Amino acid sequence: MENKAERIKPYTEEGSKKEQVAQMFDNISGRYDLLNHLLSMNIDKLWRRTAVKLLKPYNPGVLLDVATGTGDFAVELMRLAPQEIKGIDISSGMLEVGKEKMKKKGLSNTIELQLGDAENIDYPDEYFEAVTVAFGVRNFENLRTGLDEIRRVLKAGKPLAVLEFSKPKSFPFKQFYNFYFRFVLPTVGKTISSDPRAYTYLPESVSAFPEGDEFINFLKAAGYHNVREYRQTFGIATIYIAEK
């Protein structure tokens, strides 16, 4: 199976996608939370909350948030009353912002943010009772390697929850979405962010990412089962739940 998003890089065709993504997020880390919530009109908070509700029946106590960024999903996972949450990301800039956030919220004892790579997770086999990834899988340099590695650190029968952008298919949401992603988002991102390329890379990577049945097939090929999808807000985003 082909994942075209692996070929989409923030800056140049040559060089490592992983290194370019890390650099991009380092560049925008100071304004990331502001832009993220502004551009999504805070709907992203609702999507995370829905994903957490879908994880609740599994009663996970030890969780890993991959591509945690500034830790928004990790904070939301506190609703599950877990014993511990580990968050990993390849961007040190994003993690620094996230660590300050955890201190202010008094969550540093439960949520630990670390520099780490989804394709080489520094934890033993079957360590976690749930793994989450919000808006991160399309940035993986190798999607299959990342899914395999996540499966390795998951306990049997436990869930992976992926929240990712998808593409609406019905009128008029499809047309509005395309206009917003192609014109509004890059313009606002360029105005506020110190790295205008970041907000043209976003729609390009979303457009190339295998969503819906395609991504479900990737999950099944990686050995996951009981895979379900829950489309959010007319299909702007999708939550995927898969079990090891």
Local confidence band at 150 (pLDDT 50, 70, 90 cut-offs): very high
What is the spatial distance between Cα 142 and Cα 84, in angstroms, rounded to a whole number? 28
Convert the pLDDT of each residue in 76-115 to its tens digit.
999 999 999 999 999 999 999 999 999 999 999 999 999 9
Local confidence band at 38 (pLDDT 50, 70, 90 cut-offs): confident
What is the spatial distance between Cα 121 and Cα 227, in angstroms, rounded to a whole number? 22
Q: What is the residue type of 240?
A: Y
The answer to whether 128 and 154 have CB atoms below 8 angstroms apart is yes
Instruction: State the average pLDDT over residues 112-119.
Output: 97
Instruction: State the average pLDDT over residues 125-141.
Output: 97
Mean pLDDT of the chain: 93
Give the sheet arrangement for strand 130-134, strand by strand: 111-115, 84-89, 62-66, 130-134, 159-165, 237-243, 225-232
The answer to whether 206 and 165 have CB atoms below 8 angstroms apart is yes
Give pLDDT, residue 40.
77
Local confidence band at 194 (pLDDT 50, 70, 90 cut-offs): confident
Answer yes or no: is pLDDT of 39 > 80.
no
Answer yes or no: is pLDDT of 186 > 90.
no
Q: Are strands 237-243 and 225-232 parallel, antiparallel or unpaired?
A: antiparallel
Q: Which of 10-24, 109-123, 154-168 has the lowest mean pLDDT?
A: 10-24
Strand-pair partners of 161: 132, 241
What is the spatial distance between Cα 111 and Cα 87, in angstroms, rounded to a whole number? 7
Instruction: State the average pLDDT over residues 158-162.
Output: 98
Domains within the chain, CATH numbers bracketed = 4-243 (3.40.50.150)
The answer to whether 178 and 172 have CB atoms below 8 angstroms apart is no
What is the spatial distance between Cα 206 and Cα 204, in angstroms, rounded to a whole number? 6
Instruction: State the average pLDDT over residues 23-37.
Output: 87
Give pLDDT, residue 236.
92
Answer yes or no: is pLDDT of 41 > 80.
no
Long-range contacts of 75-80 (CB under 8 A, 24+ apart): 75/101, 75/102, 75/105, 75/107, 75/111, 76/45, 76/48, 76/49, 76/51, 76/52, 77/52, 77/132, 78/107, 78/110, 78/111, 79/49, 79/52, 80/52, 80/55, 80/56
Instruction: State the average pLDDT over residues 195-211.
Output: 89
Phi, psi of 233 (to 5 degrees): 50, 60
